Structures are given as C-alpha cells and as structure tokens.
Amino acid sequence: MPQTPDDDLTGLLERWPYDPDDYIREVAGADGRRKLQVRFPMGIEQYELDGRPDGLRPLGHESYLHYFLHLRRQAAESDDPDSFRLTTADCDLLRDEAMIFSYRYDLLYQRKDHELVVRDTSRNLAAFDLLSRYAESAEDAESLELYRPFAVRLHYAARAMLCVKRRRFNEAVRMAQAGIQKLDQLDEIDDHKWRRERKTASAKLRRLARQIRRARPLSPRERLQKELKRALDREDYEVAAKLRDRIAAMNEADEATES
C-alpha cells in the first residue's frame, strides 16, 4: 500500500503525550463505535469496546468462540453428538483470540469498567472451558490454563466491586470469597507459573475482601457494640449497661419480626 504524509502518527502522538498516570482513554470512532485507546511511550493501541477487540467478525460470527460454540451445538443435534473436537489449528485461533480479550479486560479493570470486565472474563472463561474439554491434544487442552487464575480473579473482583457500588457490602465480601473458593477448586497443574498465578490471585482477592470489610459502614447494632466495648475499656459501667439494654431491645425486636 502506498504511503502518504497522513500516515505519519507524529501529530497524534504530540496531541496525546504519554503520561504513566493517565494513559487509557475512551473515544468515539469515526464509525460511531466506542474505542479504547492506550498510550505507550512509543505509540498507541486501539481496542473496540464491543465484540472482538480488533473489530473482526471471523467467518461471519462475533468471534471464533461463537463460531466453535455454533459447531458444537450443531454436533450435539446431529447423529454423532461426540463428533465435535478442536484441532490444534482451531485451538491456535481460540488462543490468539483469548489473548486479545485478556489485554482488553486488564485495561478495563484498570479503568474500573467492572461490568465490561465481567462480560469479557466470562467470555474468556468459556473459551478456556471449551479448549479444556474438546481439544484433541492434551497439550492444547492445558494451553490456556495458565491464564485462568487471572481471569477468575478479575471476574470475581469486578463482581464484588459492582456490589460495593450498589452498597451491598456483605454481598461484595461473599463475591470475593467465592472467587477464592473457585481458585481453590481449580484442577492442579504441574507448572510453577500456574501455581504462582493462583497464589497471587487468591492473595489479591483476600486483600480485596479485607478492604471491603473496612469500608463497609457499621450497622446501628455494630455501632452500639463498638460503643459498648469502648465503655467497658474505660470502665464506664453505667453507660455500658444502657448500651446493653439498647442492644437487647434490638435483638428482641428482630426476634419479634422473625416470628
């Protein structure tokens, strides 16, 4: 393709200088679609925010994952439901596609676009499951498992943060704990990188759960219990007795409501 002066990116790079603290932005594309742009010291990457990050529609489908899921459904409805398998070439397509999705949901998590993180991690986890179950080669079946702990962590962390946004703090903690449990239940892989990734993912979800607990507003009962402890610590037993009475009244009210 012949080159023209318009191909020079200098002007664009100068209008958006690299800033390590502010290097991701969302823009409206000339086609009206939303784009995610990432500024690096030597250039810019651009991702579609919907569909495949590169904007392609392989074989007329939203993604190769959608295409192979379509073939699996066809096989399930045929006379030979066990005929669906993924060749090494098929797995290569799914692996390459999963990688660009993982780049996007990593960026989305940094931007706190948690709904889109849940969408993209769900999609990649489905791709990992497809390879794990249907790849003809054992090597291909395990080829994406190294990336599963990271996807699991971001998936449950994003779901937890959506709960925090709705001020459902207890649910947010349970979501982080569900992610830890999911990581603990993963089939063990004899790979030190995989073990390190799972350990790191689990530690970060535990830290997130602690942060959510600290940020959670105290309930009226918890505030009274905290005041009661302070009163006992300073041996103010008169105030402590009144606080106990208020807590007991709350408990009786709760029991009456439940009955």
Is 144 found in the same domain as 83? yes
Is 136 found in the same domain as 26? no
User: Which positions ≥6 away from 72 have C-beta within 8 Å?
Assistant: 84, 130, 134
Is 90 found in the same domain as 164? yes
pTM over 0.85: no
Confidence of residue 4 (pLDDT cuts 50, 70, 90): low
Is 240 found in the same domain as 198? no
Is 169 found in the same domain as 251? no
* Per-residue pLDDT tens digits for 197-247: 999 999 999 999 999 998 887 777 778 888 888 888 888 888 888 888 888
What share of the chain in percent tops pLDDT 90?
74
2 pLDDT higher than 70: no
Look at residue 128 and tell me if it is in a domain.
yes
Query: In this predicted model, which residue has the larger pLDDT, 253 or 152?
Result: 152
* Per-residue pLDDT tens digits for 22-75: 999 999 999 999 999 999 999 999 999 999 999 999 999 999 999 999 999 999
Is 196 found in the same domain as 135? yes
Is 177 found in the same domain as 133? yes
Give the residue-averaged pLDDT of 2-13: 76
Q: What is the pLDDT of residue 84?
A: 95
Q: What is the pLDDT of residue 5?
A: 60
The amino acid sitting at 19 is D
Q: Is 86 exposed, middle or buried (0-12, 13-18, 19+ CB in 10 A)?
A: buried
Give the residue-averaged pLDDT of 145-166: 97
Is 57 found in the same domain as 16? no
Look at residue 3 and tell me if it is in a domain.
no
Query: In this predicted model, which residue has the larger pLDDT, 10 or 126?
Result: 126
76 pLDDT higher than 90: yes
What's the distance, Cα to Cα, between the start and end of the chain in Å? Answer: 78
* Domain interval for residue 16: 11-49
Look at residue 81 and tell me if it is in a domain.
yes
Is 63 found in the same domain as 40? no
Q: What is the pLDDT of residue 132?
A: 96
